Amino acid sequence: MDQAAPMFTTAEIGALHDVLHEIVAEGATPGGVVVCGTRQASGTAPGARAVLSAGVVSPFTGPGTPDEHTVYDIASLTKVTATWPLVGRALDAGLLDLDAPVREFLPPMEGAMPSAEATVRQLLSHTGGLRAATRFDLYDLTERPLHELICHELMENLPGTHRYVNRGYILLGLALAHVHGRPLDELAADLWAGLGMPDTAYGPVRQEPRVAPTERPEGHDRLWGAVHDGNAAIMGGVAGHAGVFAPAADLATYAEHLLAGGESPLGRWFRMSLVPQAEIEPGLQRGLGWILGAGGSVAYHHGFTGTSLFLAPATGRYVVVLTNAVHNGAAARIRITPLRDCAQKILAAG
């Protein structure tokens, strides 16, 4: 039986509570939810959780206080809650190879395809050298399939150089759909159902008070239940880099699975992914998907809309942060940094 993870102290919970309320009071986000918890004490017993909330879901559509069941657009957390675990499953099934070019797992292509030479490992670790700017609104998607348009492009960096790139995860999502012969959202839905995450899904989701809206694009109504990421929207809301909606309760369940230990395929894949692949900056490494901070003691990922998931593998503790900070304008999301910093500091301290 795995040893129980240390509980969060009253002081730690209080610090997260105070910072959450401060950023809401300062207008960084209409509201938000934080869940701090521990891994399962055994194969069946749930971990301990503390749920913190502040503000409102939205002053326009959901004036109530958000809770762990409020559904948020989790943006780039899609990478580590959909694409990354599905890649791990496909590797176990022999459908993908970490060190093979992604072109081997996409429909056949003719002509020079420079970006198709990036390996699955490189795409997972943002070291494939692909173009950083996505801008599918500038593509002629009637000319050829999206994977060909991406793969036809020249690389912007030498392979092995770290640069955060959405299109790598877009290619991985397309590759997963191809090797399985099923749409990405169906593959992800099966994954989440098996993990006990009933309210996690690719959008669009139903417009209701428990769904947090995001930004109001110029000339349009506020985005509510529809993906915030414009490139994912062009892809129909289902993409390897963005498009997933989830509540904090489901992400806490997911964190408990990742931290549970044992020899589950997901647990093994998580531990394997914590091996540094490239340096982001001094003291910060990139694993397979995850950012490794605090000397590798904390693995985490952020989402553009104002979301984060922090995991401390050694102690079995985690922090889920869900906000809709872009509700107040895309620039406002930077103002939730104190909350993210607080969560990471607490986990790094043990």
Note the pLDDT tens digit of each residue in 115-156. 999 999 999 999 999 999 998 988 887 788 999 999 999 999
Alpha carbon distance 29, 71 (integer Å): 15
pLDDT of 200 over the 60 cut: yes
pLDDT for the residue 23? 97
pLDDT for the residue 1? 34
Cβ distance 233 to 226 under 8 Å?
yes
pLDDT of 97 over the 50 cut: yes
Average pLDDT of the chain? 94
Region(s) of the chain under CATH 3.40.710.10 = 10-78+198-348
Q: Which two tokens stand for residue 221?
A: 């109504």
Q: Is 109 left (phi over 0), alpha (psi -120 to 50) or beta?
A: beta
Alpha carbon distance 250, 282 (integer Å): 33
Q: Residue 120 is which amino acid?
A: V
pLDDT digits (tens, 9 = 90+) for 307-336: 999 999 999 999 999 999 999 888 888 999
- CATH fold for the domain made of 10-78+198-348: Beta-lactamase (3.40.710)
**3-class SS of residue 301:** strand
Q: Residue 148 is which amino acid?
A: E
Alpha carbon distance 235, 232 (integer Å): 5
**How many other C-beta atoms lie within 10 A of the C-beta of residue 182?**
12
- Using pLDDT thresholds of 50, 70 and 90, give the confidence band for residue 219: low
